[in-house]
Amino acid sequence: MAGTVCVTGGTGYIAGELIRQLLAKGWTVHATVRNKAKSEAKLRERVGNPGEDRFKVFEAELMSDEGWAEAMAGCTHCAHVASPIAASTPKDEDEMIVPAREGTLRALRFAKEAGVKRFVQTSSMAAVAYGRSEKVYTVDERDWTDISHPDVYPYVKSKTIAERAARDWVAEHGGDLEFVSVNPSMVLGPVDDPDFSPSVEAVKQLLNGSMPMAPDLGFAIVDTRDCAELHLRCLEEPDLANERFLASGRFMKMIEVGEVIRRNLPPEHTKKVPTKVMPNWMVSVLSLFNAGVRSIKSELGKTRETDASHAKQRLGWETRPAEESITDCAKSLIEKGVVKV
């Protein structure tokens, strides 16, 4: 089955890979970008230079109605991948929360008006696994982040609020529109250019020496290629209304990620990769001067295992080994010149 799908945030890390896979499966793709003049040629090259009949690019912003009706016109499906990401922790959490929530509701509204039948939202593990005081626990697709917890920071709130708002809107206004969410964990894998996911920033910092010691932090890892494939399955599989799937694999601490890099890359490329864990007291000192460090201080020492068996059993989805995703990510960062070694 292949129809016409609107992929929002087309220049993004997951979205670019999803567009590639959709085109390979015979779909026609409408992609939204913030700046068409700046992005279209580069995006077309990234996804294999498809013709105008198979791939169209539209300019649309999360906080404006302009362009959305045109982007959704003729679409049978929508993959809403676009979401605001701040380079640093904002002083006002609404800088992230409002665009995430309102952008999702805007995409839903225009999708419904255009007659879209299936809407797949890229949510996040942030909407599933946070807001808990335990140090070690396992989550699955039935869990939700408690945004009232004092340790929850703006990005986590924004993803949780956006997904809940979407589900509430569909329940009230969606009619026969089927809604599905995909909740990725830390997304790694090869990069096409320097415009990549914030998840990849951690690998970049391990390689370039800006992380001389690894903080006691960890994340479940998923490959961008596998994450995109799960989105594709959610678009194609029938009878998925109100489903929720975790796109997640093995949990690893940052020091373990560094070990994988050292094991699989030439020694001359791994000279700056940390070999020691940063003491928690040092992170606490750094947090006094760095808001980004301050926001993750409460994450130290936590192990969040994820159970993605629902996606595997319901959709037949599988993930490649985390070691492959980490290695491919690190190698591509060097090959693309993002990291100088």
Residue in 144, 147, 167 with CA at minimum distance from that of residue 156: 147
SS3 186: strand
For residue 261, give its domain range. 4-335
State the total domains in the chain: 1
111, part of any domain: yes
The pair phi, psi for residue 210, each rounded to 5°, is -75, -5
- Residue 4, SS3 per DSSP: strand
pLDDT in tens, the chain (341 residues): 679 999 999 999 999 999 999 999 999 999 999 999 999 999 999 999 898 899 999 999 999 999 999 999 999 999 999 987 765 566 788 888 999 999 999 999 999 999 999 999 999 999 999 999 999 999 999 999 999 998 898 889 999 999 999 999 999 999 999 999 999 999 999 998 766 677 898 899 999 988 888 989 899 999 999 999 999 999 999 999 999 999 999 999 999 999 999 999 999 999 999 999 988 878 777 666 665 666 667 788 899 999 999 999 999 999 999 999 999 999 999 998 888 87
CATH of the domain at 45: 3.40.50.720
- Asked, for residue 107, whether it belongs to a domain, the answer is yes
Residue 340 included in any domain: no
In a domain, 44, yes or no: yes
CB atoms within 10 A of CB 59: 18
Helices of type H across the chain: 13-24, 36-46, 68-72, 94-114, 154-173, 198-208, 224-236, 254-264, 280-287, 291-296, 309-315, 322-335
Tell me what pLDDT residue 185 has. 95
**The pLDDT of residue 340:** 85
**pTM for this one?**
0.94
Question: What is the rounded distance in angstroms from the CA atom of residue 68 to the CA atom of residue 280?
Answer: 46
Q: How much is the pLDDT for 269? A: 95
Taking alpha carbons only, the member of 25, 49, 34 closest to residue 82 is 34
Other CB atoms within a 10 A radius of the CB of residue 76 amount to: 18
With respect to residue 79, please indicate whether it lies within any of the assigned structural domains. Answer: yes
Pairing mode, strands 28-33 and 4-8: parallel
Contact 61, 106 (CB under 8 A): no
Query: Is residue 135 included in any domain, yes or no?
Result: yes
CA–CA gap between residue 53 and residue 46 (Å, rounded) = 17
How far CA 28 is from CA of 16, 54, 104, 185, 225, in Å, comes to 14, 5, 22, 28, 19
Classify the phi-psi angles of 26: left when phi > 0, otherwise alpha if psi is within -120 to 50, otherwise beta. Answer: left
Q: Which pLDDT belongs to residue 295? A: 63
- Domain for residue 341, yes or no? no
Q: According to the model, what pLDDT value does residue 191 have?
A: 93
C-alpha span between 83 and 157 (Å, rounded)? 13
